Homo-oligomer: A and B are copies of this chain.
Amino acid sequence: MPELPKILTRHRVAESRLFKVDAASLRFSNGVERDYEYLVSGKTAAVIIVPMISDHEVLLVQEYGIGVEGYEWVCPKGKVDPGESHAEAADRELKEEAGYGAQSLTLLKCLSQSPNYMQHKTQIVLAQQLYPERLEGDEPEPMAVERFSLHNLAELTARGDVSEARTIAALYLARDFLAL
C-alpha cells in the first residue's frame, strides 16, 4: 500500500437539502499538491439486497430514477436508519419495497461508488428464506416486483433498463457465492 497523501485543508463549498460538497487540498508522497471536491455522506450507510425467492431466482423492483429520467429494474435498497444493523435495514427495506421478509440475511461485500469523489458505502445483503410481509415505506408509488433467474444473468444485464452498477455487481457476487 503506498504512503497516503496528506490532507492539508478541508472546507465546505456547497450544500443543499440532500448534498454536501467539501473541498480538500492534498499533498501526495511525491510532493505533488492537488485540489479535490467530494460528496460528504458522513456516517450514512446503505444496503442493497439480493432477495432469493427460489434457489436460483431473484426479486428485482422497478423504480423511477430522476437521474436517468426513466424506470430501472434494481435490487431493493435504502439507507440504514440510526440504531439499525445492516441486516435489520435490509429486512425492513425488503418488506417496504418488495413485500417480503427474510429469515436468512448474509452480508456479502461492502461496495464503494466513485471513491475519488464519493464517500458513499453500500453493503450487499443476500436475503434467503423469504416470506410475504409488507411494511409501509416512503415510496411515492408501489413498485412492480418481478422474479429473474440468476442462470440468465448475461441476458438480464444486457437489458437497457438494467444498468445500475451496484445492482449488477450484487447479482454477480450473489451468483458466485451461491455457486450457480
Contact = CB atoms under 8 A, between A and B. Distances in A.
Protomer copies: 2
A88 interface: no
Given A14-B16, A67-B117, A32 B141 contact: yes
Interface in A1-36: 1-2, 4-5, 7, 13-19, 21, 23-24, 26, 28-30, 32, 34, 36
A119 B67 contact: yes
Given A66-B117, A115-B163, A163-B110, A144 B13 contact: no
A168 B66 CA distance: 25
Contacts of A106: none
A34 B112 contact: no
Given A4-B70, A169-B169, 18 more contacts: A1-B71, A2-B64, A4-B69, A7-B69, A17-B37, A18-B21, A19-B21, A29-B141, A34-B140, A65-B117, A67-B118, A109-B157, A109-B163, A112-B165, A114-B120, A154-B176, A165-B169, A172-B172
Contacts of A15: 14
Given A13-B16, A141-B32, A165 B113 contact: yes
A136 interface: no
Nearest to A144: B2
B169 A116 contact: no
